[in-house]
């Protein structure tokens, strides 16, 4: 798991941590049940204040991304599967809209596009 913090960006550090963990979850690099480093270990690795990492984890928890169990640590929460899928579908939808617009530009018909998709999809199955 990688978290890269910038000191020169205006975004406060706890915010950057939150964003990056959310992204890791949404892109599937972190999945349900994966354990996160303790707030102190993270503070040590990033060389930031423990208060910062604590705040980041607290917000992630209230947003439902992670759960913290006393004595065991913090883990990625489960409900994210649906959220993940939903977000993914949205990204796919956005990309399809882009593709359709591109197709229209080169005057590719709907059927030609579908054929292309089938061929490419088919290749994947092999």
Partner 1 sequence: MTNVVEFNNVKKSFKNFSLDDVSFSIKKGFVTGFIGANGAGKSTTIKLLMKLLRKDSGNITIFGLDQDKHNQEIKERIGFVYDENCFYDTLSIRELRKIIAPMYQKWNDNLFYKYLDQFSLPEKQPIKNFSKGMKMKMAILFAISHDPEFIIMDEPTSGLDPVFRREVLELLHEIMLDDQKTIFFSTHITTDLDRIADYITYIHKGKILFSKEREELLTEYGIVKGSNDLLDRDTVKEFVSIRKTNVGFEALTSCVKKTKDIFGDEVLIEKPSLEDIMYYTNKGDLKCTL
Compare residues 40 and 104 and give the one whose CB is closer to partner 1: 40
Edge-first strand order for the sheet with 73-76 is 35-36, 73-76, 66-69
Residue 41 as a binder of partner 1 (CB under 8 A): the answer is: yes
Q: Contact with partner 1 (CB under 8 A): which of 2, 4, 47, 106?
A: 47
Residue 100 as a binder of partner 1 (CB under 8 A): the answer is: no
Q: What is the dihedral of CA 38, 41, 44, 48, to 10 degrees?
A: -10
Compare residues 48 and 77 and give the one whose CB is closer to partner 1: 48
Contacts of 55 (CB under 8 A, 6+ apart): 14
Residue 14 as a binder of partner 1 (CB under 8 A): the answer is: yes
Tell me the C-alpha distance between 25 and 60, whole Å.
11
List residues binding partner 1 (CB under 8 A).
Answer: 10, 12-14, 38, 40-41, 43-44, 47-52
């Amino acid at each position: 798991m990688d978290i890269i913090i910038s000191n020169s960006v205006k975004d406060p550090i706890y915010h950057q941590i939150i964003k990056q963990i959310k992204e890791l979850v949404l892109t599937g690099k972190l999945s349900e049940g994966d354990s996160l480093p303790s707030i102190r270990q993270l503070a040590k690795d990033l060389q930031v204040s423990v208060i910062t990492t604590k705040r980041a984890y607290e917000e992630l928890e209230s947003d439902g991304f992670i759960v913290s169990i006393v004595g065991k640590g913090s883990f990625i929460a489960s409900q994210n599967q649906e959220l993940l899928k939903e977000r993914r579908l949205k990204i796919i939808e956005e990309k399809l809209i882009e593709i359709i617009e591109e197709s229209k530009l080169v005057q590719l018909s709907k059927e030609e596009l579908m054929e292309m998709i089938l061929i490419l999809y088919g290749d994947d199955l092999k």
